[in-house]
């Protein structure tokens, strides 16, 4: 029942997001959201080994629709839909904020909002029996290790930053190169930020040690986002299309301007 419910929720969410992507294309000829959604679908193929690293066990019912199995994990349809809807939404929000040149303060507010949403949504999903965390996880809040929503949110913001710069420099058919960007960026960022905790889980360290490692991962995530938020390039606007340049006036035009002002050359 839990798997069916979350599939319906994610399907509705994804339908709305896809509709927004169509609107973006029809009204503004913007393809970024469509690319993020499609690339996020590819990210699902990293879920199995990531579940092993962070200590997540999916609850798979007998009639669940399995997308693939790897590392002893069955990854079902709801996970695919969640990547497309959840990662697609968060990545696009971060991209849009950076594209519009938001200040560091506004980016921090967006970060806090995305973190709160991720935490509450995960609490509801875990308490609904869809999946669970195991091992000596640090900072548990209603069964959710707080470190992972922080890590996820940082990865979403990094994705927005990378997407902003990708679409500023790649045009036409070359934009198809974006398809591996979301899995590479999100999984790479999560691995880079979360390695202290994943290492501790692999070694079976006790809770006090895991708490210290959780503080380390959280600090890395916050510091990394602060660097990005303060970067001038992250707040630049209008970089998705090349800026128009005004050609220098010719010698004849300059001479006519001087004559009109009564300067040298009017004799």
Q: What does the pLDDT read at residue 222?
A: 92
CA angle 101, 106, 110 (to 5 degrees): 105
- Number of structural domains (the chain) is 1
Of 54, 82, 79, nearest in space to 68 by CA: 79
Residue 85 confidence (pLDDT): 95
The alpha carbons of the chain give a radius of gyration, in whole angstroms, of: 24
Ranges of H-type helices in the chain:
2-28, 32-43, 47-54, 77-82, 88-99, 104-127, 147-169, 181-203, 207-230, 251-260
Residue 4: predicted pLDDT: 82
Query: Does residue 254 fall inside a structural domain?
Result: no
Q: What is the pLDDT of residue 232?
A: 59
Structural domain contains residue 256 = no
Phi, psi of 134, deg, nearest 5: -130, 170
pLDDT of residue 182: 85
In a domain, 248, yes or no: no
The predicted structure's pLDDT at residue 21: 94
CA distances from 111 to 71, 140, 254 (A): 32, 20, 52
Q: What is the pLDDT of residue 239?
A: 43
pTM, rounded to two decimals: 0.80
The predicted structure's pLDDT at residue 240: 43
The per-residue pLDDT for 233 is 53
Boundaries of domain holding 31: 2-241
Q: Which pLDDT score is estimated for 59?
A: 82
Contact between residue 111 and residue 119 where contact means Cβ atoms under 8 Å apart: no
- Domain presence at residue 247: no
Two tokens, residue 16: 């709305």
State the pLDDT at residue 5: 85
Confidence at residue 73, expressed as pLDDT on a 0 to 100 scale: 87
Q: Is residue 262 part of a domain?
A: no
Low-confidence spans in the chain with pLDDT less than 70: 1-2, 63, 232-267
Asked, for residue 255, whether it belongs to a domain, the answer is no
Q: Name the token pair of 267.
A: 């004799």
pLDDT score of 82: 94
């Amino acid at each position: 029942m839990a798997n069916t419910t979350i599939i319906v929720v994610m399907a509705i969410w994804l339908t709305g997001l896809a509709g927004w992507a169509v609107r973006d294309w029809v009204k503004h000829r913007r393809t970024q959201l469509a690319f993020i959604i499609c690339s996020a679908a590819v990210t699902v193929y990293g879920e199995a080994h990531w579940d092993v690293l962070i200590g997540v066990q999916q609850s798979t019912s007998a009639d669940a629709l399995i997308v693939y199995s790897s590392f002893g994990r069955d990854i079902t349809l709801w996970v695919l839909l969640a990547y497309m809807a959840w990662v697609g939404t968060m990545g696009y929000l971060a991209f849009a904020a950076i594209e519009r040149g938001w200040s560091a303060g506004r980016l921090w507010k967006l970060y806090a909002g995305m973190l709160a949403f991720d935490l509450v949504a995960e609490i509801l999903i875990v308490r609904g029996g869809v999946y669970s965390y195991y091992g000596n996880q640090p900072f548990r809040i209603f069964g959710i290790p707080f470190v992972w929503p922080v890590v996820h949110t940082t990865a979403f913001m990094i994705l927005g930053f990378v997407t902003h710069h990708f679409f500023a420099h790649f045009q036409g058919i070359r934009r198809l190169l974006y398809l591996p960007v979301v899995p590479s960026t999100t999984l790479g960022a999560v691995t880079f930020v979360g390695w202290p905790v994943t290492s501790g889980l692999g070694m079976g360290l006790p809770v006090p040690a895991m708490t210290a490692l959780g503080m380390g991962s959280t600090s890395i995530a916050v510091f990394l986002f602060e660097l990005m938020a303060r970067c001038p390039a992250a707040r630049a606007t209008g970089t998705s299309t090349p800026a128009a340049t005004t050609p220098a006036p010719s010698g004849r035009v300059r001479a006519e301007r001087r004559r009109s002002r009564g300067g040298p050359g009017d004799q």
